[in-house]
C-alpha cells in the first residue's frame, strides 16, 4: 500500500490502521511458514545424522532449507501483494453512505433559506407568546400572594384585639367572656319565657264572651 493512500477515514471508522492489520497478517503467515520449514529441517537433519556422519551432508540440508525458505518468501511476497490489494479494496474500504457519528450532521441536506427563516420566525413567535403567558401568570400569582399577606396581617391584628378584649373582660368582670355570654343568653331566655307567659294571660281569647240573649231589638228605620 502506497504512502499517499493512508486510509485515514477507514482508520477512524475501524479504530485501527488497515496497513497495521495487513502487516500483522503477513508476519503471522511468514512466521507459520518459517516454523513449518524449521520443523521439517530438524526431521531431515535427524534422519541424515543417523545415516551419515559427514558434516557436509548436514550443511547441504541446511542450505537446501534456506533455498526453500527464500523461494517460498518470494512467492509469499507476490501472493500477499495481491491479497493486500484485495483486502484494502473489498474489506477495509468504507462505503460512501457509511459516515462517522461526527460527520452525520454535515451530510444532512441544507434546508431552503426562506423556509428555514419562516420556521425560525414561527418558533420565535411561539416562544414570545409563551413568555408573555408566563409573565401574566406570574403577575397573578404575585397579586394573590400580596392579598394573602394582607389577609394574614388583618387576621393577626384581629387576634391581638380579641386577646386585649379578653384581658380587659377578665380584669373587669372577673370571669371569662364565654362564660359571661352563656350566662347572658340564659338570662335572656328566661326573660323571653316570662314575657311569653304574660302575653298568653292577657290574650283576648282568655276574656269572657258577652251574651246577646234578651236584648232589645233596634228600632225600625223612619219612613
pLDDT for the residue numbered 164: 79
Gap between the Cα atoms of 64 and 37, Å rounded: 11
pLDDT for the residue 134:
93
pLDDT at 128: 93
| Spans of the chain below 70 pLDDT | 1-15, 53-55, 94-113, 169, 171-178, 180-181, 201-223
Residue 46 cell numbers, joined: 535427524
Q: How many helices and strands (H and E) does the chain possess? A: 6, 0
C-alpha distances out from residue 189 to 131, 138, 183, 196, Å: 64, 55, 10, 11
Task: Specify the pLDDT at position 14.
Answer: 67
| H or E element at residue 50 | helix 18-51
Q: Give the per-residue pLDDT at 1.
A: 45
Classify residue 114 as exposed, middle or buried by CB count within 10 Å of its CB (0-12, 13-18, 19+).
exposed
Say what the pTM is.
0.36
- Give yes or no for a contact between 41 and 51, defined as CB atoms under 8 angstroms apart: no
> What are the contacts of 68-74 at 24+ separation with CB within 8 A?
68/37, 69/33, 69/34, 69/37, 72/33, 72/37, 73/30, 73/33
Amino acid at each position: 500500500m502506497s504512502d499517499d493512500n493512508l486510509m485515514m477515514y477507514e482508520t477512524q471508522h475501524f479504530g485501527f490502521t488497515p496497513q497495521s492489520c495487513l502487516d500483522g497478517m503477513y508476519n503471522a503467515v511468514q512466521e507459520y511458514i518459517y516454523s513449518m520449514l524449521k520443523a521439517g529441517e530438524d526431521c531431515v537433519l535427524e534422519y541424515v545424522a543417523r545415516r551419515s556422519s559427514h558434516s557436509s551432508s548436514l550443511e547441504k540440508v541446511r542450505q537446501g532449507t534456506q533455498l526453500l525458505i527464500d523461494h517460498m518468501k518470494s512467492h509469499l511476497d507476490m501472493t500477499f501483494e495481491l491479497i493486500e490489494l484485495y483486502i484494502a479494496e473489498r474489506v477495509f474500504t468504507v462505503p460512501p453512505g457509511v459516515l462517522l457519528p461526527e460527520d452525520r450532521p454535515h451530510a444532512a441536506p441544507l434546508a431552503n433559506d426562506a423556509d428555514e427563516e419562516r420556521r425560525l420566525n414561527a418558533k420565535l413567535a411561539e416562544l414570545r407568546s409563551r413568555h408573555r403567558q408566563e409573565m401574566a401568570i406570574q403577575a397573578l400569582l404575585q397579586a394573590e400572594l400580596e392579598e394573602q399577606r394582607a389577609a394574614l396581617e388583618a387576621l393577626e391584628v384581629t387576634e391581638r384585639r380579641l386577646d386585649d378584649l379578653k384581658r380587659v373582660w377578665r380584669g373587669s368582670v372577673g370571669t371569662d367572656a364565654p362564660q359571661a355570654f352563656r350566662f347572658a343568653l340564659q338570662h335572656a331566655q328566661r326573660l323571653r319565657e316570662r314575657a311569653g307567659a304574660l302575653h298568653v294571660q292577657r290574650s283576648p281569647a282568655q276574656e269572657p264572651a258577652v251574651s246577646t240573649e234578651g236584648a232589645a231589638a233596634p228600632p225600625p228605620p223612619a219612613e
